[in-house]
């Protein structure tokens, strides 16, 4: 795989977003803002799991010791990233636009890091 390959399957993002929209409780369907907040909050939940995995990898909690692996930590970070992308898809409903936002942010990051002067 080259650096030019897009490793995200945007059809999966589209289908999972549709599935999430179709399978929420009626309470969420009746209150669209609740669904919006839930999608963002899910990202925070996933980030919390990544933090917990980091604590588990490093043994930072002496009561629990080491209870997670570096692979689990990476998987939790991947869950966090995908959940954020799904939240973006929820708001845009257009995978091409979500992809362009991510590419733009990536370019801004590159410019900030390597052209900061």
pLDDT tens-digit readout, 70-113: 999 999 999 999 999 999 999 999 999 999 999 999 999 999 99
pLDDT at position 29, please? 87
Domain chopping of the chain, boundaries: 10-18+27-114
Whole-prediction pTM: 0.90
| CA–CA dist 84, 8 (Å, integer) | 13
Is residue 17 a contact partner of residue 93, using CB atoms and an 8 Å limit? yes
Average pLDDT over residues 12-30: 94
pLDDT tens-digit readout, 38-82: 999 999 999 999 999 999 999 999 999 999 999 999 999 999 999
Whole-number Cα distances in Å, 117 to 25, 73, 107, 113: 51, 34, 16, 9
| CA–CA dist 90, 42 (Å, integer) | 12
């Amino acid at each position: 795989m080259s650096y030019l390959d897009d490793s995200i399957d945007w059809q999966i993002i589209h289908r999972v977003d549709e599935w999430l929209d179709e399978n929420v409780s009626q309470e969420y369907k009746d209150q669209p803002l609740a669904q919006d907040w839930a999608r963002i909050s899910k990202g925070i939940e996933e980030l919390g799991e990544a933090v917990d995995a980091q604590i588990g990898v490093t043994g930072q909690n002496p009561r629990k010791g080491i209870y997670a692996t570096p692979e689990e930590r990476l998987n939790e970070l991947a869950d966090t990233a995908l959940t954020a992308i799904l939240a973006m898809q929820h708001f845009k409903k257009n995978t091409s636009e979500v992809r362009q936002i991510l590419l733009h942010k990536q370019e801004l990051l590159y410019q900030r890091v390597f052209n900061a002067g």
